[in-house]
Structure 1
């Protein structure tokens, strides 16, 4: 299966061995609790901007809010500021044509990473004849009007935007000396590491830095946006869940109260359950790939070195042996004090993957989603729009997405009421 070749092949997701270890060790400190706690104000500013934009967005769409679109703008703004020190300004109401075009390209780049016959022809061909995919893609991307050509042009423009960000940071560091320590974000950590070590300069080439930055933009926005929009969509269809969630949010403090990282972790147990259940119900990563580094025996089968293995976390998440009545949205199944949670295998629910190559940014993503849900429900409740299909049509790709978005009606809350 060669579907993942559309991602930057030099980035953390696909590289291996010494270069993978060097890249991961370089950025892992940015996702430790002490650093994440300091990102709360940055995240909150973007969240408040997104929430402020909801009434105007609804007025333009017959009262509906496309939460998928808003969540992607929010997540992209957060990753822009937290990882690159750049404000993309997508959640600003007057974002303008440039911001809108950036979002369209970003959405196109993520949603065309499909795993079915609606994908670009080279990807669809890879489903039935993997050996032909590479040559077909190289040919079709040169043919104007084809899906492969459009995807290539979009990805080239996004990469150019990312390259501009990296180049600007290089220029800034040149003006300010080596720049080490002036910032503490993802891009600075990578560049600082390169400057400190000749070995890392060899491993983290400019091409690898750009690829890693591009991957960070895609992975840090599309997955978080899907998780946030799916959680709110599911809560909107289950009044009993909404009532318990609102009670927990209101008990924390008056509207506008911003939780700390520690409070997010310990004061919102039901919110934790809601997010875990949303990620189980709509698992954002349909497939997780691994390659054997040596011959192994698995389930009685001997697998030679270099064998591709594919896990389907969404299938595990719908296994009735681990999740009673798996087609029902029931956050209580993740109650830490419940019998169901205690007896469940720890790998039954692995939305972020498992092992040393699990998602390095999972704490970052969960903090952002939790903070967003708290603020949104301090200000609004949401109802499913009659203009949205039910059940929603899903699009399967490298990440899951809602084919037609999540259309909701946002109702502003009065203090103390739902």
Structure 2
């Protein structure tokens, strides 16, 4: 073979090799490209779901600008959520949307719209969505759904009939006698009182007797009992916005199954909010379940309602209306937990805030004194539930306190199907917030909303007569209205009557002024101590 022929042969071999190499490389590139597409597709779909889809789906509703992935979380972390909702309503009106991460929230800040969603269209906005993974939610009243909720509510309603509300008054006066003794001692020593702490301990003692049939001794132990400590720790883990548990944030971005998984993992980590919440919730549920089992074991249903004890009634007498079945221990402990948490913290805050407002408003305080003294002269010194009709101004004080400091600033509902409200399309599954606290601050419904004026709730006041009937909703509305609102009003009124029979409270140089700094969880409460000087009348 000549050198030329050999060169040509080598060239052919190299050419064929190069062609095969290039062909193989191209094939490998195609395969790798297809693999990348397969692998990237879920990521791209997820990015679309989080970064683009929410803004596209809700572009027909006005609201703050949407940021990919985070939505409007920066604003919610900068301001407490109720304040952000209020500020947005001033900017965008009574119907708008915002995003907690990629999760859309439609806000309605109008009394007529509240009526539509909470009452007229109730069956289309029947359920609530919990922002956290709460194991008791399906068995309680607050977040349970559908037919179960209706049955459980029917079983609980007799606890708040007039006869039973009358039976709770002695427990309230018993707890108040301890508080009065502490106030008297402080007045004699010239020491200030921190009303927020005192009213919380008072409320725990009352709910302990009324719900559990036991004395929590919250007012006699300086460190408070283990039940009170557990309840406080649990309440402080239920947070929205800044300081929320990791599981709450995860729930904004991922399905409930992922949120439950993260919550389960975080419960294993000491010191996390999830672990603290789990431990204290379990402790309280175990106490409730043991107590319910003991009451059920006693047997008999005669005169059970006169025991003025929620658990005794739930364990031995309560029946689901449609089926007639008794509540299970699991259901009882879930309901008892909700009564303990919702019934103690919110009412304690309301009483403390009423004392705070009255300490700065002498005219209103003097009207309270006048009404209390008039009834005392008529022989009413320890009023029961039926006597509260004689204390109309005290009732107005409580209502105005709840307007100015709404412990529950929102009503949460979920659209069951595609709906149109006020001409606005709300897709099925959308979380809807009825911004009741925002309406309470609206001068259209409450002129001079930053002024403490109990008279605005005088039923003969023209302002009250002209007000929209659903402008004031401190306890909600419709079938999902707070089941214990009459109990809460009874406790707050009796507490104020008892305190102002004997004491006068005055602000100090270190007493905060309105507006107060707020801790915003599932309920609102002051984050500042409320120190007041106390004097005997």
Of 113-122 and 320-329, more deviation after overlay is shown by: 113-122
Aligned residues: 402
Aligned residue for 1:220, secondary structure, equals helix
CA distance in 1, matches of 2:272, 2:320: 45
**Paired position in structure 2 for 1:179:** 300
CA distance in 1, matches of 2:284, 2:320: 29
Q: Does the alignment pair 1:300 with 2:428?
A: no
Distance 1:48 1:13, change over 3 A: same
Distance 1:22 1:57, change over 3 A: farther
1:22 aligned to which of 136, 151, 156 = 151
Distance 1:382 1:261, change over 3 A: same
Q: Does the alignment pair 1:169 with 2:290?
A: no
Alignment RMSD (CA, Å): 2.6
Please, which runs of 5 or more residues in structure 1 have no aligned partner?
414-418
CA distance in 1, matches of 2:286, 2:188: 34
CA distance in 1, matches of 2:418, 2:410: 22
Question: RCO greater where, 1 or 2, for CA within 8 Å and sep 6 or more?
Answer: 1
Any conservation in 1 of the 2:247–2:263 contact (CA below 8 Å)? yes
**Paired position in structure 1 for 2:484:** 361
Any conservation in 1 of the 2:296–2:316 contact (CA below 8 Å)? no
Please, which runs of 5 or more residues in structure 2 have no aligned partner?
1-128
2:169 aligned to which of 30, 33, 40 = 40
Q: Does the alignment pair 1:85 with 2:208?
A: no
Q: Does the alignment pair 1:404 with 2:528?
A: yes
Offset of 1:375 from its aligned partner? 0.5
Offset of 1:285 from its aligned partner? 0.4
Of 29-38 and 328-337, more deviation after overlay is shown by: 29-38
CA distance in 2, matches of 1:3, 1:332: 37
Any conservation in 1 of the 2:295–2:316 contact (CA below 8 Å)? no
**Paired position in structure 1 for 2:273:** 147
**Paired position in structure 2 for 1:105:** 230
1:3 aligned to which of 118, 121, 131 = 131
Bigger-Rg structure (1/2)? 2
Q: Does the alignment pair 1:376 with 2:502?
A: no
Aligned residue for 1:82, secondary structure, equals helix
**Paired position in structure 2 for 1:416:** none
CA distance in 2, matches of 1:195, 1:357: 19
**Paired position in structure 1 for 2:335:** 212
TM alignment of 1:14-413, pairs within 5 A:
14-56=143-185, 63-91=191-219, 93=220, 95=221, 99-126=224-251, 133-171=259-297, 173=298, 178-184=299-305, 185-193=309-317, 199=323, 201=325, 204-253=327-376, 257-265=381-389, 267-391=390-514, 392-413=516-537
With normalisation by structure 2, the TM-score equals 0.69
Offset of 1:102 from its aligned partner? 3.0
Aligned residue for 1:383, secondary structure, equals strand
CA distance in 1, matches of 2:153, 2:518: 32
With normalisation by structure 1, the TM-score equals 0.88
